[in-house]
Amino acid sequence: MATNAALKNQIANKQEGTKQVSAQSLGLKALLNTPTMQKKFEQVLDKKAPQFMSSLLNLYNGDPNIQAAEPMSIISSAMVAASLDLPVDKNLGYAWIVPFYDSKKGHKAAQFQLGYKGYIQLALRTGQYKAINVIAVREGELKKWNRLTEEIELDLEGATSDKVVGYCGYFKLINGFEKTVYWTKDEIEAHRIRHNKMKDKKALNNVWKSDYDAMAMKTVIRNMLGKWGILSVEMQTAVTEDERETHDITDEVDDEPEVIDYHPEPEEKKEEVGPDPQPETENEKQSVKEMKDNEFPF
């Protein structure tokens, strides 16, 4: 039977192992290991949460640009993808976590962006689409395009080079309604330049630089679905979140530091050292209150 002294020691040890720290002061790995964050992802993804969090950490470890972004903004972006049940592996092309430089705050922050495959996936989940696709059209493949009647004639075996001249999107609903759209490369470029937030409007940045075709196809399919498609509540949410990329990043990052319970991993022979030393960093000194669920940015 446990004595009162033993119970007091257990309570004291538990309290010593739990610290309240600013979320901004922790790295991504430490944040993902906190009970608060694990609970948040489990509420959204249930049993798939560990796999999703592991893929997020792999993405982070493999991309120096994302590593430079503020950790809580990465978590917030990942939570949007999690709520849509889309993977964040950039090689899959469903959703991206993209870092932007916040000149006002002097650091990078991450934003969620939906890929063209993500749009297709969300459309198929509605059960209203019989077929949906978007492709790059190469030189020699386009034979005829009527903008008014939307009649298009393609010879997908007739490419004369690998040069992309345009992008074609198509969907057909189960009720028989169908839509075809075609954007020339020049139209895509005009759209990209118009929405480019960089000083040099013609400069390629982020995913436009690493995967131009993917972003061009996303532009076509988002415009097509937004104008003529059937949008579920889930798709409307995705479109809203994706359109946030056109805003300045300074509007997306909270000034207030998040404070959460943190259980640091025990160091060797820590119990022989005595009580934990007083916090030495400014970030640790900011840990003054409990983190409540409604204080997270998601």
Answer whether 0.95 is exceeded by the pTM: no
pLDDT at 248: 42
Structure tokens at 92: 């899959």
pLDDT at 283: 44
Distance CA 286, CA 298 (A): 22
Distance CA 236, CA 246 (A): 16
Residue type, 34: T
Residue 130 belongs to what H/E stretch?
strand 129-138
Distance CA 141, CA 160 (A): 8
DSSP letter string, 76-127: HHHHHHHHTT----TTTTSEEEEEEEETTTTEEEEEEEE-HHHHHHHHHHTT
Distance CA 298, CA 75 (A): 9
Buried b (16+ CB within 10 A) or exposed e, 194-222: eebeeeeeeeeebbeeebbebbbbbbbbb
Kind of pairing, strands 152-154 and 129-138? unpaired
Check: CB of residue 256 under 8 Å from CB of residue 105.
no
Match 């446990």 to its residue by tokens.
2
Structure tokens at 14: 């538990």
Single out the residue of 39, 40, 34, 38 nearest to residue 22, CA to CA: 34
* Phi then psi dihedrals of residue 151, to 5 deg: -85, 125
Residue 168 belongs to what H/E stretch?
strand 164-173
10-residue stretch averages of pLDDT, the chain, 298 residues long: 49 48 68 91 94 94 90 92 92 90 79 93 95 97 94 94 97 96 96 83 83 94 93 86 57 42 49 44 40 46
Burial of 111 (0-12, 13-18, 19+ CB in 10 A): buried
